[in-house]
Amino acid sequence: MSDQLLSGVRVIESSLLGPGHVATFFADMGADVIKVESPAGDYIRQMTWPIIEGVSLLHLHTHRGKRSITLDLKTERGVELYKELVATADVVVEAMRPGALAKLGLGYEDLKAVNPKIVFATLSGYGATGPYKDMPSHGIAYDTWSGIVQPVVDDEGFTRIPPNMPNVGINVGPMLGAVAILAGVIKARETGEGCQMEMAQSDAAAYMDWYRIESERAYLRPEDEVTGNPADNYERRPAGLAGMWEGVRYQAYEASDGHVLFMASEQAFWKNFCDGVGRPDLFETWPGSKYADHARGNTELQAELRDIFRTRTCTEWLAFGDEFNTPIAPFNTPANIGDDPQFQARMGFYPIDAVGCEQLPLPVFVDGDPLPVPTMAPTVGEHTDDVMADVLGLDATRITELREGGAFG
């Protein structure tokens, strides 16, 4: 559609596996993303699980809305065609080890000579500098490196990756990369000068956990300089969610059919709750501080709340929170989030017939409307002829000559 947010933006993507997601945000918003693959194709199509009708979910999601062409970049003509594509583009994405394109004569300086406005963005595991820069890695390596994921020991004494943890680095890295790339495109269009940038999925994982990391650094300073919250008598709490363990007014509670998260740490919310359940005595006994008061360690109050929350269903508690202006949230799982009415009202799933499986949309609404449904993730080289024709203006005869000459592999 010509009226999408990024219509008129073109991205040339050279990627392997998940980091290619950095360009998916552009495709979802209407950019023309052309994934350049080797003749063998990106093996992302066979990676991880589930495999849906022979193709991985990872590929179906990561490369939806994109076009795929094959070029043999070991040939002179393949390299020339890549440069011709770059001449029409705004962005080149190198979502693999830094320097991979430079080894083929397609580094930033090579491409800048073709298109001075090009934004050349590299997204890799550990980045282009530092002692880990050449180490092979993928998946949750960036989450273990950043401290987000810690090993657990099973009942038989085997050390294992913990279950039920989201992948942070491989998802946040592309997200932060997309923001940076878009800033580069804006600058290039204003100044006529492109730039080279690089991001690491490991850095992104650490950045996402900034609150815990920065808290730990702050706690290295003397206790008379860095304290806890006044509501805790200035006693330091453990960083992040670990500091929530002893919370009472901000805590998980069992309802009659599941669990809810109670978040009445502000005094006004706490009073609303007490009035709503007909227990003003709780507020009179434990009014708490105006802000950030979790009633930490107050097990007497916690027992009272435990009994109160068991009297209603999760749905009833959510309705209560809405009626009495009290923050209460459900505990969903990846398996049942699709049944949540808030999810259904705003997100839902892209349909199977459009993208190969149920997929989450990019959660952006423009003038109240969701973004258009993207196209199915491509097969290897599915759009080679189309791109040669509509982007480079080559006729069928010339395309055949290039194919016979081995430019496409």
CATH code 3.40.50.10540 region(s) in the chain: 10-208+346-404
- The CATH architecture annotation of domain 10-208+346-404 reads 3-Layer(aba) Sandwich (3.40)
Place of tokens 């449904």: 373
Cis (ω within 30 of 0) for the bond into 50? yes
Task: Provide the 8-state DSSP code for 238.
Answer: P
CB 29 within 8 A of CB 364: yes
Minimal CA–CA distance to 346: which of 361, 367, 330, 325? 361
- Residues constituting the chain: 409
How far separated are the first and last CA of the chain, in Å rounded? 31
- Alpha-carbon span 63 to 390, nearest angstrom: 20
Element housing 395 (H / E): none
What the block records as the tokens of 120 is 């050349």
263-316 residue pLDDT tens = 999 999 999 999 999 999 999 999 999 998 899 999 999 999 999 999 999 999
Superfamily of domain 245-331: formyl-coa transferase, domain 3 (3.30.1540.10)
CB 26 within 8 A of CB 6: yes
CATH code 3.30.1540.10 region(s) in the chain: 245-331
Minimal CA–CA distance to 166: which of 139, 145, 204? 139
Full pLDDT tens readout for the chain, 409 residues:
458 999 999 999 999 988 999 999 999 999 999 999 999 999 999 998 999 999 999 999 999 999 999 999 999 999 999 999 999 999 999 999 899 999 999 999 999 999 999 999 999 999 999 999 999 988 899 999 999 999 999 999 999 999 888 889 999 999 999 999 999 999 999 999 999 999 999 999 999 999 999 999 999 999 999 999 998 889 999 998 888 899 999 999 999 999 999 999 999 999 999 999 999 999 999 999 999 889 999 999 999 999 999 999 999 999 999 999 999 999 999 999 999 999 999 999 999 999 999 999 999 999 988 899 999 999 999 999 999 999 999 999 999 999 999 999 9
Neighbours of 289 (CB within 10 A): 16
What the block records as the tokens of 158 is 């085997």
- Alpha-carbon span 279 to 283, nearest angstrom: 8
CB 24 within 8 A of CB 381: no
Minimal CA–CA distance to 240: which of 147, 152, 334? 147
What the block records as the tokens of 103 is 């080894």
